[in-house]
Structure 1
Amino acid sequence: MNYQKSIAVLPFVNMSSDIDNEYFCDGITEEIINALTKVKGLKVIARTSSFAFKGKDIDIREIGKQLSVNTILEGSIKKSQDKVRITAQLITVADGMHYWSKRFDRELIDIFDLEDEISLAIADEVRNNFGHFDIEDHLVSEKTNSLKAYDSYLKGRYYFFKWNLPAIEQAISFFKESIKYDSEFNEPYFSIGLCYNLLAAWGYLPKQETFSKATNYLNLGRIKNSESVDGYFALAAQEFWGNWNSKLAYKYLQKALNINPQSSDVLDFMAEIHRSNGDFKNAINLNEQALLLNPLSANANYTRSTVHYLNDEASESLKYINKGLELDADFSLFHNLKALVLIQLNEREELLYFLDSENKIPFLKKASLALFDLYNAVENTSLKVNEILDELKKLKSPLLYPWDIYLNLYANKSEKAINLLVDKVERKMGQVVWYKHDPLLKPIKEEIFKKKVLKSNFLNSFERLHQNVKHDTSKKDYFEKEEVNKLIDKLNVMMESQHLYTNQDLTLRSLAKQVNLHPNKLSWLLNDCVGSNFNDFINSYRLNHFKSIALDPKNAHLTILGLAYDSGFNSKSVFNTYFKKTEGITPKVWLKANS
């Protein structure tokens, strides 16, 4: 697969004296990632996978290999009172070369303009180096005119991505604080709605009451902005996990994908819906697209592992479970699923090792060993199922998997198991959303379809709305052939007569202004008609100029690097790399051979 036009934005390093500014650096990084996803034709790695390398000293080439990208952006942020300094640099994965860097010093009041400026500069440079794609005039718009509201929102996002109950409760408080500073700022409303939806779906808060709270915040957010990826995602979460309405949830996700086709979270959520409805082929298709953008996402790997589990492919499921646990050892859903899969595979030794060394869920060892003996018909089991079931009833935290149903079923208490299933289905508990396809419930599959409440769920509620998500790859010709030739001639004349290439700060945008073309049109002209990206086009002129002045005896006193700078090159590494790529030898060897 071609990853030429691709980028991963690593978390910006906090260079401030205050360590608490970590949330600000993470927030700015995320905003830049989100902005770049708006550029059609540019593959942008999702936040989760980029942030997997936070604080780690790993070679850029290894990062690029793991994420399947050819460009890495890294940078730092120094925040002091009402000022901020952001440095950013682009690195080519193939050779580790820094081919662009810039420092931005701004007042914090202009933070959205700064995010837009940085995002556009990054997109421009990737295009200059790797080929044409269209770029909108602006990638970031002002979300709020209150810096305090934005600051609180970023703090909320910081805690939200910790994915645990205390942190999500902390996130909600910051999102509410953000609304106090600016009640017109729509994003915090959607974030609060999503937080409440998750807490209700996970069973941490009363379901109906919490979903009602979520609805109130989502409705308020939609009044401010009806077209929002976060808004549609939160609505989909409520419809699917709260109301088990696959069809409406999927429509919301399609609307979100229309706004941002590169949202790995949306793609993976679509895969979850197909999975729960037994459409495993489309579930895998969508999950693969999500993993392409977010290969180090534990959640996307969990989705994939559950697809294989439900499709009775336990060994394949185990591969994704183990990969997911490598990414996040505390992901409790993986712990539950791994135990079930090892039970299916009759791997008692491996199950014991896992329960003793990796498992962090107190009840899981007793429950899974009891189920292992029951499922695999182990004789003389010493485990007392009734006592374990009593313990499960007394748990304060919700069961993420229906262990009570499994244990009753394989302890020959089918009626009790079915009654428990009916109860969970009637309350639409997230833990049993895929009950019709759960391989462990096969013994009562016929009984399931005899019960009206069990038979009706999801039937006729979900149409196969999915179509393969494809980006528009059709070429767009901006000019007729005769006009193209005139424009190329005009461009070459200007380059040669005015020596525009000697300007080290020349950009595609500044050149486009001089030739009176939109930057997207000039990029297309160079890449599709001249057959060269912007950097190679300009550097070819610079190289020819270097050769001519380097062989002039009156310049014999000047260094090779000095001559390169006079020719317009602004970096030693860029000059040497381009020279060797073009000539096959170093500048020094070439000069010696031609003097």
Structure 2
Amino acid sequence: MPATSWISPEIAMGGPSFEIPLAERLPEKRLDSWKEIAVYLNRDVTTVQRWEKREGMPVHRHVHEKRGSVYALPEEIDSWVQSRRLPLEEAELTPDTEPLPIPQADSGDRISNIPRSRLWFAFAAIVLLALLSAVWFLLRGRSKGAIQPAVRSLAVLPFRNLSGDPSQEYLADGMTEALIGRLTEIHDLRVISHTSVMRFGNPQLSVPEIAKILGVDAVVEGSVTQEGNRIRVTAQLIRGTTDTHFWSETYDREMRDALTLESELAQAIAEKVKATVTGEERQRLRAARPVAPEVYESYLRGRFVLSRGNSRAELEQSIGDFEDAINKDPTFAPAYLGLAQAYSNLGTVFVGVSPAETRPRAMLFARKALAIDPGLVGAHVLLANVLQREWQWAEAETEYRRALQLNPNGANAHAGLALWLVCEGRREEAIEEVQRGQELDPIEVSGGNVSWILFQAHRYDEAIRESRSALAVNPDDANTLSGLGFALIANNQPAEAIPALEKAIALSKGSPAATGVLIRAYAHAGRRDDALRLLAELKRRKETGYVPAAAFVNAYLGLGENEQAFGWLEQAYKERSNILQFLITHPYFDPVREDPRFMDLVRRVGLG
């Protein structure tokens, strides 16, 4: 290979060759990323990274020594190219081996002494090798040009924080979630939820393994670096089955243009995977406006805390961050959605704040978010959840349907609609809907979600299997453990339910809701004294704080004290307790279903 030229990659694919003088290539004094190095060498990022590792190509690391942040000097690269013993195309044929040394004859006499038969054999071997090489090149060229399967599903893995500052982790996490949010708006593309991909933040698995677990065709990897008011985001697309990179790009922007950056990145990915994008979807992908860096950073901090914790202290911290963002920019819709989610989570039975305090705020902030941005899918789903708990059944269905209209592949919307359907007594439709959500995102809509619907449908064996399958992946999920306890008791296996419920209570730091179910398990297992002891503890807790009425409903029904249970059902009605959504399907209500007081309660809740 001439010392002043570079062989085009078309050679390796069986195409025509041409030479580019080194002096005519990029004139930069420093190649400041893998992408720039790859462009300079007329190769892809994966190839040049392999050359650095296996062929000793000179690449330098920046001060923080992260692998993704590198630079190279053109003159060093040129010297390295010129000093290669073999053309790099030959090295690419056998990247894991060193070329064999070629024997040198000491004199013409030594060659002349070789028998003619051996010379003929050697010549034949060379011809055969040449033919095999030609076939290899032909097949390689065909495989390179082969039509790749379409990308119809995608997972955006957590972006890496390359700022060298762990306190900037919220920015990388926020960029990941924002990109997922934009891509989920494309009906032709199934995108795994932020909640599901977060467990692959420090993956010990390969990309093909992750893609198989999540059931996706391709994966997006990326990194974020912030320096002052500027942000750099690098992203690449990788095929799930072959672990091959087929696109990469780097974006440099000011922080005030972070939303524009997210928009451009989402559009580029959609174009590269050849997703069909409607006019409305394209408009939403392009929608972006400048946002003050301090507003966006407050919002991202709130999202970061909200996505990683559900204790009361963490939820209240996230509320403070969202309120700070809104105070600085009252027109920033995502911050209102963040507030709505935080208040909704505060009102769950595992946190224990009264729904009367949290639901009105969750509803208010979800509506404010939608008033600013009617296409905010998450706000429609969250509003539907709250409306359902408030027994506004028709309005809840409208919001679920609107969310699915905006994003047919929204796993959460399918799971929410499944709950609505089962509350209406449409059990088989509910099972189909939740299973559709699980197909779309098997981690976000887990076996625990499916189990609860199966439990309401009185299909206990299946519910137990789904719960145990989910716990095999995530054994410390308090919700799934509680759901397993519900199903085991209904299936006449109360003794097996006890350890699951005790663990759920320990993990949730004493959830009163799970405690009420454990009282039922003790009673049905013949441990009535333990049940009464735990009930007394629950009553003492109520004297000093909020305990949901549903805990006492489950306890007294489990003890067979139905009159006491009806008293607590009335209290649950006043609280608009979550348990009353399931009046017409919940197995624990079967013994009192024919009581006129119960039928009246069903009517008042709007289900009769």
Does the TM-score normalized on the shorter chain lie above 0.5? yes
Unaligned runs of 5+ in 1: 461-595
Deviation at 1:173, TM superposition (A): 0.6
Q: Deviations over 1:361-385 (max 9, x none)?
A: 5478986665335335x4xx46254
Residues 1:325 and 2:474 aligned together: no
Q: Is the 8 A contact 1:336 1:401 kept in 2?
A: no
Distance 2:156 2:401 in 1: 26
Distance 2:465 2:599 in 1: 35
Residues 1:151 and 2:297 aligned together: yes
Match of 1:58 in 2: 205
Measured at CA, do residues 132 and 354 of structure 1 come closer, stay the same or move farther in structure 2, by a change above 3 Å?
Answer: closer
Q: Deviations over 1:225-259 (max 9, x none)?
A: 34432332333233112x21121111122222222
Deviation at 1:296, TM superposition (A): 0.7
Measured at CA, do residues 398 and 442 of structure 1 come closer, stay the same or move farther in structure 2, by a change above 3 Å?
Answer: farther
Match of 2:577 in 1: 429
Paired residue type of 2:173:
D
Distance 2:511 2:495 in 1: 19
Residues 1:180 and 2:327 aligned together: yes
Unaligned runs of 5+ in 2: 1-148
Q: Is the 8 A contact 2:460 2:490 kept in 1?
A: yes
Paired residue type of 1:317:
A
1:277-356 maps to which residues of 2 (within 5 A)?
A: 277-297=424-444, 300-347=446-493, 350-351=496-497, 353-354=499-500
Q: Is the 8 A contact 1:187 1:230 kept in 2?
A: no
Match of 1:14 in 2: 161
Q: Is the 8 A contact 1:6 1:69 kept in 2?
A: yes
Match of 2:223 in 1: 76
Distance 1:398 1:327 in 2: 33
Residues 1:374 and 2:520 aligned together: no
Q: Deviations over 1:460-516 (max 9, x none)?
A: 6xxxxxxxxxxxxxxxxxxxxxxxxxxxxxxxxxxxxxxxxxxxxxxxxxxxxxxxx
Measured at CA, do residues 116 and 406 of structure 1 come closer, stay the same or move farther in structure 2, by a change above 3 Å?
Answer: closer
Paired residue type of 1:333:
N
Q: Is the 8 A contact 2:521 2:558 kept in 1?
A: no
Residues 1:210 and 2:353 aligned together: no
Distance 2:565 2:284 in 1: 57
Q: Report SS of the residue matched to 2:282.
A: coil
Q: Is the 8 A contact 2:549 2:577 kept in 1?
A: no
Distance 1:291 1:263 in 2: 10
Match of 2:60 in 1: none
Measured at CA, do residues 95 and 451 of structure 1 come closer, stay the same or move farther in structure 2, by a change above 3 Å?
Answer: closer
Moved more, 47-56 or 322-331: 322-331
Distance 1:4 1:18 in 2: 35
Moved more, 156-165 or 309-318: 156-165
Deviation at 1:24, TM superposition (A): 0.8
Q: Is the 8 A contact 1:422 1:454 kept in 2?
A: no
Deviation at 1:137, TM superposition (A): 6.4
Match of 1:416 in 2: 564
Q: Report SS of the residue matched to 2:584.
A: helix
Q: Report SS of the residue matched to 1:436.
A: coil
Distance 2:319 2:503 in 1: 34
Q: Is the 8 A contact 1:449 1:455 kept in 2?
A: no
Q: Is the 8 A contact 1:112 1:140 kept in 2?
A: no
Moved more, 323-332 or 356-365: 356-365
Q: Is the 8 A contact 1:406 1:441 kept in 2?
A: no
Deviation at 1:429, TM superposition (A): 0.7
Q: Report SS of the residue matched to 1:136.
A: helix
Deviation at 1:143, TM superposition (A): 4.8
Paired residue type of 1:257:
L
Residues 1:240 and 2:388 aligned together: yes
Match of 1:39 in 2: 186
Q: Is the 8 A contact 1:233 1:253 kept in 2?
A: yes
Measured at CA, do residues 81 and 42 of structure 1 come closer, stay the same or move farther in structure 2, by a change above 3 Å?
Answer: same
Distance 2:263 2:174 in 1: 14
Paired residue type of 2:186:
V
Residues 1:117 and 2:256 aligned together: no
Q: Deviations over 1:409-435 (max 9, x none)?
A: 343321111221222123211134213
Deviation at 1:342, TM superposition (A): 2.3
Q: Report SS of the residue matched to 2:353.
A: coil
Q: Report SS of the residue matched to 1:433.
A: helix
Distance 1:88 1:280 in 2: 43
Match of 2:396 in 1: 249
Instruction: Please give the root-mean-square deviation of Cα atoms over the aligned residues, in Å.
Output: 2.9
Q: Is the 8 A contact 1:149 1:182 kept in 2?
A: yes
Aligned residue-pair number: 451
Q: Report SS of the residue matched to 2:202.
A: coil
Deviation at 1:23, TM superposition (A): 1.1
Deviation at 1:58, TM superposition (A): 0.7
Paired residue type of 2:520:
L
Give me the identity figure in percent.
25
Q: Report SS of the residue matched to 2:458.
A: coil
Match of 1:270 in 2: 417
Paired residue type of 1:195:
A
